């Protein structure tokens, strides 16, 4: 599958300044900016920036950023699921995972995360993908936001909806280990029925495995 990437740019206006949201960008463009030191939700900022540079140059990888004039203050990434995860089982070429979305604390609450998702979906080629996001409550910034698990879940769902992602059922053990966890899914309008059917099997892989075991008895 050829992964075509068309870049889009838009200004997002806060009460004090205009934030540029653009992407997907290659690593060579990302290196023109400073990476904010408080983007540490997943790992220390320097290591996270290196991770973004690696993703940006993957054939399927996409990195969309929010920045001031010279500093990246937020980002969202898309790439193939980790080989160790269930979602890579069938090695589907048209299945991408929203790997990470983050905005530095200073700029949260201003709709930047939603704008990152909107801009990322402006590329018409995204209609060729099934996009997933696995949401686990233990990754959420409950202390920083002073929200309960269910309040955070509601905010997260509303934000993801701006990018067209909606909750979808699954029997994935990690997701069903807590009722607040969820799988978010967006199926592009150009995704073939064969891929949708394969994804449905993937969502309920344990059910399929149990059926196969029973048939073998």
Walk me through the domains of the chain, giving residue ranges and CATH numbers. Answer: 8-216 (3.40.630.30)
Taking alpha carbons only, the member of 133, 61, 130, 147 closest to residue 101 is 133
Taking alpha carbons only, the member of 82, 85, 88, 93 closest to residue 60 is 93
Helix (H) / strand (E) element for 182: namely strand 182-187
pLDDT tens for each residue of the chain, 217 residues long:
999 999 999 999 988 899 999 999 999 999 999 999 999 999 999 999 999 999 999 999 999 999 999 999 999 999 999 999 999 999 999 999 999 999 999 999 899 999 999 999 999 999 999 999 999 999 898 988 899 999 999 999 999 999 999 999 999 999 999 999 999 999 999 999 999 999 999 999 987 666 665 566 5
CA–CA distance, 42 with 54 (Å, rounded to integer): 15
CA–CA distance, 132 with 134 (Å, rounded to integer): 7
Residue 80 DSSP symbol: P
CB 38 within 8 A of CB 44: no
Q: Residues 73, 78, 84, 87: is their CA dihedral positive or negative? A: positive
pLDDT score, position 211: 64
């Amino acid at each position: 599958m050829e992964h075509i990437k068309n870049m889009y740019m838009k200004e997002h206006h806060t009460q004090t300044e205009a934030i540029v949201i653009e992407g997907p960008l290659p690593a060579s463009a990302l290196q023109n900016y400073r990476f904010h030191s408080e983007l540490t939700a997943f790992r220390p900022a320097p290591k996270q920036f290196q991770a973004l540079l690696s993703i940006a140059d993957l054939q399927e990888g996409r990195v969309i950023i929010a920045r001031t004039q010279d500093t990246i203050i937020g980002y969202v990434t898309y790439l193939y699921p980790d080989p160790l995860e269930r979602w890579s089982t069938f090695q589907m070429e048209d299945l991408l995972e929203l790997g990470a979305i983050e905005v530095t604390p200073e700029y949260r609450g201003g709709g930047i995360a939603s704008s990152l998702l909107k801009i990322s979906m402006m590329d018409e080629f995204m209609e060729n993908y099934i996009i997933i996001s696995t949401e686990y409550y233990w990754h959420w910034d409950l202390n920083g936001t002073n929200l309960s698990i269910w309040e955070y879940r509601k905010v997260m769902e509303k934000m993801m909806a701006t990018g067209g992602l909606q909750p979808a059922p699954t029997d994935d053990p990690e997701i069903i280990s807590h009722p607040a966890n969820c799988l978010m899914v967006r199926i592009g309008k150009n995704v073939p029925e064969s891929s949708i059917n394969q994804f449905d099997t993937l969502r309920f892989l344990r059910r399929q495995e149990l059926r196969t075991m029973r048939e073998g008895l």
